[in-house]
Structure formats: C-alpha cells, structure tokens
Structure 1
Amino acid sequence: MQMIINGEKRDSANGKVIEVRNMATQELIDTVPAATVEDAQEAIEAAQLGAKIWSQTPVYQRVEILNRFSQMLRDNKGELARLLSTENGKLLVQAEGEIETAAAIFDGFAAESKRLFGQTIPLEIQPGLEKDLMITKREPLGVVVGIIPFNFPAELFSFKAGAALASGNAFIVKPPEDDPLTVIRMVELLHEAGVPKNVLQVVTGYGEEVGDYLAKSPSIQAVSFTGSTEVGTMIAQNGAKNLSRVFLELGANDATIVCEDGDLDAAVDFAIAGRLLASGQVCCSNKRILVEKSIYEDFKAKLVDILSTKRIGNQLEQGTDVGPLINEGAAIKVEEQIQHTIGQGAKLILGGRRVNEAFIEPTVLEVTKDMDIAKDMEMFGPVFALMPFETQEEAIEIVNQSNFGLNSSIFTRDITKAMDAGNKIQAGVVSINGGTVYRPICCAFGGYKKSGIGREGILYTLEEFTQIKSIVLRGVM
C-alpha cells in the first residue's frame, strides 16, 4: 500500500519501503513507504490548508460524512478485520470486535460534536460590567497529529481521527510500522466518505524519523500519542518548545486485587480474558495479580488449569487462543523479561518459552513485591505475575508502588472495601468486580503518574481538541 498525502497515493521520496508480515507464518503481506521528512513536511503543508476548509465546514456536514464512514466500516468489516488480524497477530474475532468498536467511536464523536455548545454569560456578576454580555464558543485547534501504536491501530486511530475531524481539525496520522495497512485503508474510506483530501493525511514511516519530525513541527497545534513513556516524554519536551498541546497515553503495569470474599471464578476468567487479549499486548491488561493469601492456591490452580488448555497458533484459524506477538523482537524482549524475573527469584509455574520466532506461551510466574515486574517493568505478552497478600492495605500499597497508574480492578463483595480501594488506588480507572481491560467509548481514559497526560473519550477528546473563544458584547444589557 502507499501513503496518502493531499489525496495522492504515493511512495516515499527516496523509494524506501517497510515490510509488513504475518508473524504467524512470516509471509510478506505488503510493503508501505518509509517516508522522509520531506514527505512529512508536504503532509503538514496540505493539512494547514485543509484545516482552514474543514473548520468552516458546517457541523451537520461533517457529521454526515463521519456517519457515512462508520457505516462503510461496518459494510467492510470482514475485509478490514481479516487485514487487521493478519498484520497485527490478534485473533480474527478480536479484530472483528475492534472494527465494530471503531465504527461506534466515529458514531459517538459525530453525535457529540452536535452538542459541543458554548455559554452565554451576563457579566453583572462583576461591578462595572453590568451591561456586558459574553458569548463563548469552541473552535478547532488547527492541525492535529496522531501517532498510533501497533496493538489497537483501528480503535486508537478512531479515537484520535474521529475527535479531530468531528471538532473541525485537520488530521495527520503516523500509523505503526508493523501494522499500518488497516489504518491506510480506513483513511481511504474516509476520503471516499467525503473528507476533503487535504484535511486527512497518512504518513507511513519510522517513528524516530517522521514521527519525531511531525511531533516537533511548529506548524502543528496538537499531538496525540499512544505508546511508551520514554517516547511520550520526548514528545512532551518537543511540544513544549512550540507550546503545542500534547496528549499522551503511555506505559502501564496494571494490577488486579482478588479478595477472599470475591468471585474467584469470575476473577480467573477476567484475568485470562484480559491477559490473552491481543496476546497480552494491551496497555491496561492485568499485568500484576494480587490474590488474598487464604485463596491464593485455589486461584493459582484454577488459572493454571485453564491456561494449560490454551492453544497458540495462527490467528486466522479457528481454535487458536493465542496468536503471535507483533514481531520477533517483541517476543524476544518478553522472553528476556521472563528470564530476568526468574533470575530475581520468581518461580515459573507454567510456560515461559518463546515458540516459532514470535509466539510466547501463556506463562504464570509467582513473584514478590520487590521484583521489577511488581513495580515498573511492563511485560507486553501473555504473562501472569501472581503475588499473595494478607491485608487490603498491603495490596493497595503494592499496587501504588508502581510509577504507572492506568487501570486497576478489585474483586470483592464488600462495597465498603471496594470503595476504599477505588478511592486509594492511584489509577485512572478502578473496575470493581471486573477486569482491568475496561474502556467504554465514553470513558475518560487515561492514567495517573507516568501513564500519561490528558483523557481520551468521546466528550473529553472533543474538548481537548478544541479551544474556547469568548466574544463580548459591551454595553448591550
């Protein structure tokens, strides 16, 4: 596939490409251009012109286009899901769910943009301004850059592009290098739905080159990035130099607490579903599982029994439970993290091996709170780190010892204990009697501490991608 700049499908200026492979079979799916900074600059210039056009397009017309696109997503769900599953490695059924979620996100932004109202404020609240009337309105920022991670490219493209377009901004997307094809196809469909060619650009390439260039450009007004804390920190520093707005959803090491009065079977089921989704490559999956000591052995036995039946294999085949990681390097890193944790004294209960280049077996480790995995080492793979605890205070202390704080959860039938945990856990979402993988499209999704800056969700992103203007009528009251 080619990238799309100003409506033109094109190769990179230097002709270089990036290979996209199905990691289950190592087969080449396609190539995309490895864009240059010159390509990125052309996209910025086109978007600057597009921002002027799109900001003046009536809301109802933008809504019609976005609703048309969401229907096109549903009409093409089979094609898009298969493409996503093939290039990403997640199970086909999971890819189908992601495409449906993407359509719902665009529906949500289109609907909410019609209610993005301002205020009318009589200024008689302040002496000397009794006859003045202030009217506020929300206007788009201008050009927004979205840098998308590999794990949920369709969904996260929708959160960023849907918000930007619904609120009247031009949008430039830098898709992930490993699985950019679904995002490119979605951009094609958006253009077919009626988004002007210079309003929406897709620039493929490497993050350290074109992603960095886009994020530090003084000609863009905002950057929305989902990815690692290290890269997010650099983007924040670059944005500060231009006073660009920066929205960051970053690393996480989310925890689940299972109390002795909680539903043990439900806790096991949610833990497995959350950690095997996308082969464990989910920012808000339950990477640490804290289980009350009195039920710890029962939880471990149930978890191991079920995980022992899970089958790794080709993500497109029925009967597969765990697909490959996004690339071989990612699998090697998880394998090294497992060995590092064992070297720190962890006990390997199940799995632990890398298989066929890019697969990681479902793995269960018994760990202690002083190990790296219990603090700030984020494992992006199907690895379950188990820890016993004796008191809820101890469990919350372990949860909060991490520099991250995206999502968390607790299983208990005691509402007082649940609310105590909800109030004390330092995380953006605390799910009670459910898993940590919880992100309704209306949710103010985002983390505490080094898990990010800002919140992403239907109403919240529209507000963050707009700015308030006040028009004052003097002496009219």
Structure 2
Amino acid sequence: MSTQTEPLVRYRMSIAGQDRDSASGEVIEVRNMFDGAVIGTVPAGTADDAQAALEAAQAGAEIWSATPAFRRAAILKAAAAQIRARRDELSAVLSAENGKTIANASMEIDTTARIFEGFAEESLRLFGQTVPLDIQEGLQSDLMITVREPLGVMVGILPFNFPAELYAHKVGAALAAGNAIVVKPPEDDPITTILLTDILHRAGVPGATLQLVTGYGDVVGDHLSKSPDIAAVTFTGSTEVGAVIAANAGRNVVRAFLELSGNDAFIVCDDANIDDAVDHAVAGRIYANGQVCVATKRIMVVRSRYDDFLTKLRARVEALRVGDQTSENTDVGPLISVDAARVVERQIKEAVGQGARLLVGGTRDGAFITPALLEIDTSVGIATDEEIFGPVFSVLAVDSLDEAIEIANASQFGLNAAVFTADLNQAIRAGRRIKAGIVSVNGGNAYRPDVAAFGGYKKSGLGREGIAYTLDEFTQVKSIVLRGVIAEA
C-alpha cells in the first residue's frame, strides 16, 4: 500500500453516483509488470466505503427494477456500442495492467461487448408462465401466473485474470435481470473495470444501481459478502477464497454463485490427430499467460502416441516468445505480479522434487516465467489437485483412455476437460464419464461459449454462468394465483 501524492493517474471508485477516494485516503498502486512502471493508483477502499455503497444500492435496486425491460436492454446495448468504439483504448489499458498480450486483451474487450449485448437481448425473453391448475384435483377453477423478479442488491467480486469479461458476465446479467450490483474489482488490475463502470453510467445506468468499490479482498470483499443487506453474491476466483465467501453468505442465507479453481484434464487417445492436439495444448496453456481456470493443465497421452506428442510439444514450447505484452510478436507476457511468479517458480521446483522431469524453461525473471514443460506421473501433486496458474505444461503417459479418465476424476476439481479422438462414440462415452462442467471433443480446455452453462463439478464451484442461464439464477419466481376464475364444466 502507498500514500503516494503525485500518481501518474489517480483513478477513483464510484459510490452513489459519485467518484470518490477512500475514506482512509490510502491508495493502491497499479503497475505494468513488464517494467514495473506505475500506471496509476486506485483507492484502497475501507469497510465504511463498502457500507456506503450497500446503503445506496437499496434505492438503486428500486429505481432499476421499476425501469421497463426494454429501456434496461437499450441502455446495455448502448454501453456495448461504446465498449466497441473504445476497443483500442480499453485493450491497451487491460494489457498494461494485467500483463496479457495485446491480442488476448483485444479478444477480451470484444467478448465483453458481446456479453453485454447478449444479456440485453436475453432479458427481453425472460418470460413467466400461465399454468391452468386443473392438473390437480380440487384446483380446477384456479389459474396460476408466474413472473420472474430481480433478487435485489447483488455483490460481484472479480478475479484478476479476466476482469473485463467477468465484469460483463456478472454486471451485465445483474443489470439485465433488474438488480442493483456493487462490484469489488481485483486490486491488481482494476482500471479497466473503472472505465467500464463509467461507460455504463454514461449510457444511463443510475449511479446507485451500479457501484464499484476498489480495495483489498479481505477488507472490501469480506464486508460486502458478509452483509445482511444483499440478496446474492457472485464470485470468480480460488476455491479457498470461495469457501470463505460461501460461509459469509451462508450466515445470512444469501445466495452464492461461485466459479472456482480448476485443474483441467487434456486427454490424447491413440487415434487422435497429434498435430491438432499439440496446437490446442499450446493455445490453451499460454492464453492469458497460463492464468486461466480452464487452461490446459494435466495433459495425458496414451503411450503409443506419447513420444510423438512430447517431441512436437517440446519444439513448440521452446519456440514461445516471452516479453513485452504490448508487442504483437510476444506469445507470453508477465504474470500478474512478482509474487504470482514466485508461486509458480516454487511449484515447478516442488514438482521436480516429487519426481517430475523438467524438459524446458521454468526460470523466473521478475514477474516472468519462461514457459516450462514437465514430464510427470501420478505421484506429483499437479497430477491431481495442485493447480499451477502460469505457463507450465505437465505431461504424463497413460496406458488407456480408461486410466486417463480415472486420473481426471481423481481431482477435487472438475471445470473443463478435453478429449482428442477420431472415434465419436468413444468421445461421447468419455464425455459422459468425465466429471466436469464442459467436455470439449477435439478442442482444448480453454473454451467458453457465451451461452454455455459455465461452471464446474465438485470444488470447482456452485451454479452456472452464461447468457442462456444466468438470468434464471439472478431472478426469483413469483406465483400469482387467480382463485376461482375458471368456470367448471
């Protein structure tokens, strides 16, 4: 934390429609991890700041829920248009503060606009039902009408790895469903979400309906998720933190939607196209510098194809270019922080100590990790439950698809999985047996269609997130029964 008085740019949080500094006056420096330069500062919000937002949100929820759906949708579409118009600016900011390549950042901003637009359109189809009750003896003269209503005040807590896209999934859905939402952005890279909040306010979202409180998770996030004044909290991040948020919400019987950790399996069968599998393995592991919950993490290859796969993968990993994330020639940029890189460095060393063989890379320079290739077996922690959040490829040989599925399901996580095979029947059988939210056939793990019911099995989370599903989760059903209105024959 810093009390720097002359920052490059001093960004502010948004509470009750006003741009504010922290009640404490303290700030958090946001840095470009390529060179360590300070991009700007944001307020280190306090519990008092969070409480002020919660109190304002009650009125914001009433105003927004009373706004007709077609007007809410028009405002969200206008915001999406502005996001597209400012694509280059937003992409540059995101790349600088997050460390992902400019190509990855641009893709994320495109996705952000598309998600807002998608939720706006889906909100116009959020219908109820008319249910004749003559299906139950004694109620044949009654008619039941159902409507979907907003939950009220929500809290959205965002991770660092996809701050813009997950802002859209949480804020877009909450607003489309008629809720108010208080957002706690990641402390490492909050600037893009500050700019997005300003865009939504300018498009017409009331200041008390959408608020953003910057700060640390154990202060701002903790206060927000513990509040008895909210109806729901939606969080993306680690399982460890998710468990704390779920406990906080549970004390007040508040709904918790949690998208948590993953250690995804990537299975290559004996009839797979090896070149395609290698392509997808590389793309799925270096996307966002490997800091993705659904990244390719546990690569299992049948022994008959193992040497061919490993040779080709090794050549690709050795050729990856590490450097300035703003350069179009860069494949892998810096991790979100030096501390994050130190964790990955330690995990690589621990894996080697457990018997893994380091074939390529794995060295750290500041926030950079050179892409690493490890040969492992099931005795190494990363083969089951230890997730590495960085550009590290872990490959192990298996005797069969059955063995690979057994290893995949041995993990406490189950977010996404991938199976490469030319046998469609085998692929479907594998897809049914693997305990994961999405099983991708002949494609990589890092795959999330906007409309998919994204979420995981076991400790990978609770609930599902996606344009076709979230509005159901972010609303509640009310039944209005018209008694005795149907004349009996």
Same fold (TM over 0.5): yes
- CA distance in structure 2 between the aligned counterparts of 1:65 and 1:53, rounded to whole angstroms: 14
Q: What is the TM-score normalised by the length of structure 1?
A: 0.99
Q: Secondary structure at the match of 2:469?
A: helix
Q: What secondary structure, in the 3-state scheme, does the structure 1 residue paired with 2:131 have?
A: strand
Q: Which residue of 2 aligns with 1:406?
A: 415
Report the CA distance between 1:369 and its aligned residue.
Answer: 1.2
Aligned to 1:276, which of 259, 263, 286?
286
Residues 71-130 of structure 1: per-residue CA shift (max 9 Å, x gap): 000000000000000000000011011000001101110000000000000101111111
Distance 1:127 1:414 in 2: 51
* Equivalent pairs, count: 476
Partner of 1:230: 240
For the residue of structure 2 that corresponds to 1:124, the secondary structure is helix
In structure 2, list runs of 5 or more residues that go unmatched. 1-10
Give yes or no for the alignment of 1:455 onto 2:468: no
Q: Which moved more, 1:465-474 or 1:311-320?
A: 311-320
Distance (whole Å) between structure 2 residues aligned to residue 164 and residue 275 of structure 1: 31
Cα deviation code 1:173-224 (max 9, x no counterpart) = 1000000000000000000000011100000000001100000100010000
Residue 24 of structure 2 contacts residue 46 of structure 2 at CA under 8 Å; is this kept in 1?
A: yes
- The answer to whether 1:166 aligns with 2:176 is yes
Separation of aligned partners in 1, 2:31 and 2:378: 38
Shift of residue 459, structure 1, vs aligned partner: 2.2
Q: Secondary structure at the match of 2:299?
A: strand
2:106 to 80, 96, 102: 96
Provide the secondary structure at the position in 2 that maps to 1:115: coil
Among 316, 322, 344, the alignment partner of 1:312 is: 322
- Matched to 2:336, the amino acid is I
Paired AA for residue 420 in structure 1: R
Alpha-carbon distance between aligned partners in 2 of 1:319 and 1:441, rounded to the nearest angstrom: 28
Mapped partners of 2:103, 2:401: distance in 1: 37
Give the deviation of 1:391 after TM superposition: 1.2
SS across alignment from 1:364: strand
Question: Which residue of structure 2 aligns with residue 394 of structure 1?
Answer: 403
The whole-number CA distance in structure 2 between the counterparts of 1:370 and 1:25 is 38
Unaligned runs of 5+ in 1: none
Distance 2:36 2:321 in 1: 19
The question of 1:57 aligning with 2:67 is answered yes
**Which of 377, 385, 389 is equivalent to 1:380?**
389
Show the 5 A alignment for 1:19-38.
19-38=29-48
RMSD value, Cα:
0.5
Q: TM-score, normalised by structure 2?
A: 0.97
Q: Distance in 2 between matches of 1:406 and 1:341?
A: 22
- 1:323 is matched with 333
Aligned match of 2:448: 439
State the 4+ residue runs in structure 1 displaced beyond 2 angstroms: none
Structure 2 residue aligned with 1:218: 228
Deviation for aligned residue 1:68: 0.2
How far, CA to CA, are the matches of 1:392 and 1:434 in structure 2? 16
Deviation at residue 370 of structure 1 after TM alignment: 2.2
The residue aligned with 1:362 is 371
Q: How far apart, in 1, do the equivalents of 2:94 and 2:165 lie?
A: 11
Structure 2 CA distance for aligned equivalents of residues 227 and 395 of structure 1: 27
Post-superposition offset of 1:416: 1.6
How much does 1:137 deviate? 0.3
Q: Which secondary structure does the structure 2 equivalent of 1:459 belong to? A: coil
Following superposition, the deviation at residue 307 of structure 1 comes to 1.4
- Following the alignment from structure 2 to structure 1, what is the Cα–Cα distance between the partners of residues 83 and 161? 19
1:261 equivalent in structure 2: 271
| 8 Å CA contact 2:345, 2:363 repeated in 1 | yes
**Among candidates 21, 32, 48, match of residue 58 of structure 2:** 48
Q: What is residue 464 of structure 1 aligned with on the other side?
A: 473
CA distance in 1, matches of 2:331, 2:401: 33
Summarize deviations over 1:121-170 as a string: whole Å, max 9, x none.
Answer: 01011111110000000000001100000000000000000000000000
